[in-house]
């Protein structure tokens, strides 16, 4: 249950619920429903009551700030029909945080140590609002701040260990297969026979996302060891059918897979980016430890930078235009030389919403990967939507690098 008007008017996307769903699943707890409600006492009371009928565990985030619009604690008092008490250890935590920032505890913040009488407080290392654990009529309620880092710290250090002890449930196993370069309905046609032959306690789901389709196999309700074997067996059969489209599994990120390949080969990478404007480099460097293989980029957003920093000949730009095979090939080869890396990626395209011509429509993108074996290029036609074009270009380019590196490794 996430509390806050900001969720309902759409100012904030609820990312807490998805993260909690993942963590709960991993310890064998299944989320039955996610509910977002407003900062309104009656609404919160109703939602708590309904949730307690459906589930034996209700996780609540939000509405614990020190300000006037945060009413979760008062409402929990009303729900459990109890008063407030001052919690010494929660106050110690508030005082510690203010001390570390070299500030005095304000009166507003002192009130964060006041909690409903019937709760156990859980220490929030990352913020001033304590977590709170309640039990009533066999249902566990846990209230946490809505700020994601604080909620995550509380879940990891306090809530999940307690839940593992308190509940003891059979596991649900998931395996997700990540594909690229093929649509959902085409995959579905290829997998029809395999899917029909799945045992009853196993289930397939298609999860399309920008530039890829994820396939999730779920298996439930048996001995974990047996389940794990069955899942592996079905996965093997599936891979035989669609192997060429599979680039990874579960929470694999393409940039992490590419990073592992580069690390294993002791190779380095650079990028030369036009339409992606640094996004490929950003994806690569979002991975911890990427400094071991990523040396840098030249972002040549304007044509004169393509000429001055990447030595793309002026005549080539005039003849073929910046969005062309010859220019993207030149960008990749030049950045590889200038940054002295084993591999390089280049991209040049029309992300939109303007810049299209009759011959070069919105979403036309050329990508290139250069390496010890030479340079490969691809023409992409990604349609409209600036953000989507940038995002998908990065995926296609990283996947092209992955394909080339796998070919090299397999001889």
Alpha-carbon span 312 to 286, nearest angstrom = 29
Min separation Cβ 228 and its own copies, Å? 17
Q: For residues 21 and 321, which CB has a smaller minimum distance to its own copies in the complex?
A: 21
The nearest distance, CB 385 to its own copies, in angstroms, is 7
Whichever of 118 and 125 has its CB closer to its own copies, that residue is: 125
Measured between alpha carbons, how far is 140 from 337 in angstroms, rounded to an integer? 61
Question: What Cα–Cα distance (Å) separates residue 96 from each residue in 93, 100, 130, 145?
Answer: 5, 6, 13, 18
The answer to whether the CB of 270 falls within 8 A of the CB of 245 is: no
**Residue from 259, 247, 340 nearest 293 by CA:** 259
Residue 12 is encoded by which pair of tokens?
């904030």
Closest approach, Cβ 80 to its own copies, in A, equals 22
Q: Which is nearer to its own copies, 217 or 368 (CB)?
A: 217
Q: How far apart are CA 235 and CA 239, in angstroms?
A: 6
Specify the residue, 292 or 407, whose C-beta has the smaller distance to its own copies.
292
Name the minimum Å distance from CB 124 to its own copies.
14
Angle at 218 between CA 212 and CA 223, to 5 degrees: 150
Q: What's the gap between Cα 20 and its chain centre?
A: 13
The three-state secondary structure class of 21 is: helix
- Four-CA torsion 324, 325, 326, 331, nearest 10 degrees: 90
Residue placing its CB nearer to its own copies in the complex, 122 or 147: 147
To its own copies, the closest distance from the beta carbon of 118 in angstroms equals 26
As measured in angstroms, the least distance from the Cβ of 297 to its own copies is 4
Tell me the C-alpha distance between 371 and 258, whole Å: 14
**For its own copies, which is the closer residue by CB, 14 or 118?**
14
């Amino acid at each position: 249950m996430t509390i806050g008007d900001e969720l309902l008017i759409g100012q904030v996307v609820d990312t807490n619920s998805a993260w909690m769903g993942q963590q709960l699943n991993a310890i064998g707890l299944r989320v039955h429903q996610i509910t977002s409600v407003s900062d309104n006492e009656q609404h919160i009371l109703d939602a708590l009551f309904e949730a307690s009928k459906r589930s034996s565990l209700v996780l609540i985030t939000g509405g614990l700030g020190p300000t006037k619009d945060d009413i979760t604690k008062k409402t929990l008092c009303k729900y459990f029909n109890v008063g407030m008490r001052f919690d010494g250890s929660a106050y110690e935590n508030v005082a510690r945080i203010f001390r570390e920032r070299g500030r005095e505890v304000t009166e507003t913040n002192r009130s964060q140590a006041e909690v409903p009488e019937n709760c156990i407080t859980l220490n929030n290392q990352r913020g001033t609002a304590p977590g709170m654990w309640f039990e009533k009529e066999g249902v566990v309620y846990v209230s946490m701040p809505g700020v994601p880092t604080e909620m995550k710290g509380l879940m990891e250090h306090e809530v999940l260990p307690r839940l593992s002890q308190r509940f003891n449930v059979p596991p649900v196993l998931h395996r997700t297969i990540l594909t690229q370069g093929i649509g959902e309905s085409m995959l579905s046609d290829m997998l029809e026979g395999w899917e029909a032959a799945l045992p009853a306690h196993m289930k397939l789901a298609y999860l399309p996302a920008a530039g890829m389709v994820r396939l999730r196999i779920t298996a439930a309700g048996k001995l974990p060891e047996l389940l794990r074997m069955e899942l592996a067996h079905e996965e093997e059969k599936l891979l035989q059918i669609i192997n060429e489209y599979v680039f990874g599994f579960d929470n694999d990120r393409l940039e992490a897979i590419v990073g592992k390949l580069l690390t294993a080969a002791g190779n380095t990478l650079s990028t030369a980016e036009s339409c992606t404007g640094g996004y490929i480099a950003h994806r690569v460097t979002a991975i911890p430890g990427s400094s071991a293989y990523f040396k840098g980029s030249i972002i040549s957003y304007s044509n004169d930078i393509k000429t001055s920093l990447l030595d793309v000949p002026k005549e080539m730009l005039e003849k073929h235009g910046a969005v062309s095979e010859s220019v993207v090939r030149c960008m990749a080869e030049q950045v590889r030389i200038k940054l002295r890396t084993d591999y390089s990626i280049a991209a040049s395209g029309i992300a939109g919403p303007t810049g299209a011509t009759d011959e070069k429509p919105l979403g036309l993108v050329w990508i290139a990967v250069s390496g010890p074996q030479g340079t490969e290029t691809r023409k992409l036609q990604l349609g409209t939507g600036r953000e989507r074009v940038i995002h998908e270009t990065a995926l296609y380019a990283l996947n092209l690098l992955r394909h080339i590196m796998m070919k090299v490794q397999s001889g």
